[in-house]
Chains A and B, each alone.
Chain A
Amino acid sequence: EAQVTQNPRYLITVTGKKLTVTCSQNMNHEYMSWYRQDPGLGLRQIYYSMNVEVTDKGDVPEGYKVSRKEKRNFPLILESPSPNQTSLYFCASSLLSPGFTPQHFGDGTRLSIL
């Protein structure tokens, strides 16, 4: 089954404790992206990757890191999480840049930073 898999689905942690949210897709998609969703603000792009070893900042990259060492994986790293990073996070992938092909979304990761 074609899918984007995020882990964990839920995480409660404390300020400053490094964490990684994993994202994997099995559709051989070139483009992957991370979004955060906050009430009243909608979805905002954090980082995206056009292909292996190619990543770029989205609209809200501060406090986040990503890597794309393999085509299927695109982890999101919070080196020193802070409470303002409490949010619902989505990973997405598409065959080409979004707008040319539909995006496939993971089920989301609800992150709470205390």
Chain B
Amino acid sequence: KNEVEQSPQNLTAQEGEFITINCSYSVGISALHWLQQHPGGGIVSLFMLSSGKKKHGRLIATINIQEKHSSLHITASHPRDSAVYICAVRARGKLIFGQGTELSVKP
């Protein structure tokens, strides 16, 4: 079983929908990252959080340390949000990555 599990693996949404991507982990962590990988391949760091909630534009990331769970929410989704979203946790001195959630937002 992977130490970092994301769900769903694939997600198709209509433009404007509210989207939630989930990340569960089974190890003790000091921080959690959300990354975005566009179809061209480049990876961008969206959030780094160790507690509570962070917001940037239409993106919101939350983490519940006790439940070992994080969510990434996208409000008013847009086709340009189409990408792979990757959760990564810092544990044992390194980053452990989830397998990613492929999001497609249709106009």
Binding site for B on A (CB under 8 A): 40-45, 48, 58-59, 88, 90, 92, 97-108, 110
Contacts of B95 in A (CB 8 A): 45, 98-99, 103
Per-position 1/0 for B10-22, Cβ under 8 A of A: 0000000000000
Q: Do residues A45 and B99 form an inter-chain contact, with CB atoms below 8 A?
A: no
CB contact under 8 A between A102 and B33, given known A40-B99, A41-B99, A42-B100: yes
> Complex: how many Å from CA A92 to CA B30?
19
Interface residue tally for chain B (C-beta within 8 Å): 22
> Complex: how many Å from CA A107 to CA B42?
4
Tell me the smallest distance from the CB of B56 to a CB of chain A, in Å.
12
Contacts of B45 in A (CB 8 A): 102-105
Q: Do residues B97 and A97 form an inter-chain contact, with CB atoms below 8 A?
A: no
Number of A-B contacts (CB under 8 A): 57
Q: Do residues B100 and A102 form an inter-chain contact, with CB atoms below 8 A?
A: no
Binding site for A on B (CB under 8 A): 29-31, 33, 35, 40-45, 48, 86, 88, 90, 93-95, 97-100
Closest chain B residue to A90 by CB distance?
Answer: B43
Closest chain A residue to B43 by CB distance?
Answer: A105
> Complex: how many Å from CA A106 to CA B45?
11
CB contact under 8 A between A42 and B86, given known A58-B94, A99-B95, A100-B31: yes
Contacts of A97 in B (CB 8 A): 90, 93
CB contact under 8 A between A45 and B94, given known A98-B33, A100-B31, A103-B33: yes
Closest chain B residue to A43 by CB distance?
Answer: B97
Known: A101-B48, A105-B42. 18 other contacts (CB 8 A): A40-B99, A42-B97, A43-B86, A45-B95, A48-B94, A59-B94, A98-B33, A98-B95, A99-B48, A99-B90, A100-B30, A100-B90, A102-B33, A103-B95, A105-B43, A105-B45, A107-B42, A108-B42
